[in-house]
Amino acid sequence: MASQRSPEPDIRFEVPLYRMAEAAKYLGVPTTTFATWAKGYVRRPLVTALPSDGRNYPTIPFIGLAEGMALAAFRSKGVTMQRIRPALMVLAETVGLEHALASKALYTDGAEVLYDYAERQGDTPEAMDTRELVVVRKGQRVFTEVVQDYLQRIKYGPDGYARLIHLPDYHHAEVVADPERSFGQPIFAHGAARVDDVLERFWAGDDLGMVSDEFGVPLAELEDVLRVASRRAA
């Protein structure tokens, strides 16, 4: 189980790095969906958002992006957040962590907790949706393959909280969000070039091969990033 947070300042928790639309884009979910996770519930939000000094300023810290990544994993199975929200609250209470969705405990213990919750709830809609996230293999409760694929993209620090995210949607490119590099903006894992910088050079008319040589990014990765960017812009 993850350890408690250190009282020392931590950029992952305390520095707003992303606008809601940016965070949603990086996770491949609609902006309205991410906004609902961050502020659309009457009770405690599912995603951490910090106060903003203006309408278009970043409000989402890295830890909020990680929480959104976990929710995107659950959403990929087609379950509704409204129905599994009670299960997520039970998860947070059981794990005993403020940011349970961004903790390693979600990856290691979450399937067991959610399965037990669903069993206690019987045949309610909430239990049925929660069961969609978990399977039993060799006597152990584990997340389904789709959910597991998302959660494996989160890498954790020594304190048990997310410290790096391999962003979804890419087939060949390895694109990561790292709060300690490029202010958390997506970068290529190899070479650390910002994805936006590479795309801007291509949109400006530079040949793809030239961009590949200058930034040291394989052509297949560039083509993959362009595919994702074009689809999101459509």
Q: Identify the residue whose tokens are 């409000």.
A: 59
Lowest mean pLDDT among 36-45, 85-94, 143-152: 36-45
Q: What is the mean pLDDT of the chain?
A: 91
Mean of the pLDDT values across residues 86-106?
A: 91
At 5 the pLDDT is: 59
Q: Is the pLDDT of residue 2 over 60?
A: no
Instruction: For residue 52, name the pLDDT band (cuts at 50, 70, 90).
Output: confident
Domain 169-234 has CATH 1.10.10: yes
- CA neighbor of 199 nearest in space, from 179, 177, 224: 224
- CA neighbor of 24 nearest in space, from 42, 39, 43: 39
At 44 the pLDDT is: 76
Q: Is the pLDDT of residue 1 over 70?
A: no
- CA neighbor of 118 nearest in space, from 150, 144, 83: 83
Residue spans per domain, the chain: 1-162, 169-234
Tokens of 178: 């790292």
pTM for this model (two decimals) = 0.91
pLDDT in tens, 139-194: 889 999 999 999 999 999 999 999 999 999 999 999 999 999 999 999 999 889 99
Mean of the pLDDT values across residues 65-83?
A: 92
